[in-house]
Amino acid sequence: MPSVFTKIIRGELPSYKIYEDEKILSFLAMDQVNLGHTLVICKEEINHWTEVPSDTYAHLHGISQKIGKALLLATGSPRIGQIVAGFEVPHYHLHLIPAWSIPDLDFRRAKRRSPEEMSSIQAEIMKQLSLIQP
């Protein structure tokens, strides 16, 4: 059975995309710990980060760094936390979460945002990302 992320990759489920190329996809988390909470995933369905091919892992983290810079600018947060948990979806994914303090990284804070909030932060992140990428 394909993961929810595979369904997003295939276009079977909607998402607020931030970045996509042949190896990875990035989109806003449906439940936002803080507004701008973004996921970066491998397109290949791989359960654990230790199993991701090294070239894909390096590429994913390089793009994540650029997305993180865009998130800093888009949200005004002083930090972007990175979390790899992998308990809810058995498909490698990196959480990028705008944070002002350690409690800002608590997944119990996650909540759904309005479509307007999601579209607005998506547009701002993508605008900032376009200024960072060559």
Report pLDDT digits (tens) over 50-102: 999 999 999 999 999 999 999 999 999 999 999 998 788 888 999 999 999 99
Question: Structurally, how many domains does the chain consist of?
Answer: 1
Q: CB of 95 within 8 A of CB of 8?
A: no
Average pLDDT (22-33) is 96
**96 membership: H or E segment, kind and range:** strand 93-99
Contact 59/43 with Cβ under 8 angstroms?
A: no
CB 104 within 8 A of CB 81: yes
Q: List the domain range (segments joined by +) for residue 34.
A: 4-132
List the CATH number of the domain containing 63: 3.30.428.10
* Residue that has been written with the tokens 């449906």 in this structure: 30
What does the block give as tokens for 46? 């791989």
Residue 34 contacts residue 104 (beta carbons within 8 Å): yes
pTM for this predicted structure: 0.94
Going by DSSP bridges, is the β-strand pair 111-112/31-32 parallel, antiparallel, or unpaired? antiparallel
The answer for residues whose C-beta is within 8 angstroms of residue 94's C-beta and 6 or more apart is: 39, 40, 41, 60, 61, 64, 82, 83, 84
- The token pair that represents 51 in the structure block: 């199993």
Percent of the chain predicted with pLDDT > 70 = 99
User: What number is the average pLDDT over the span 2-18?
Assistant: 93
Q: Determine the average pLDDT of the residues in 115-130.
A: 97
Instruction: Report the distance separating Cα 23 and Cα 76, nearest Å.
Output: 29
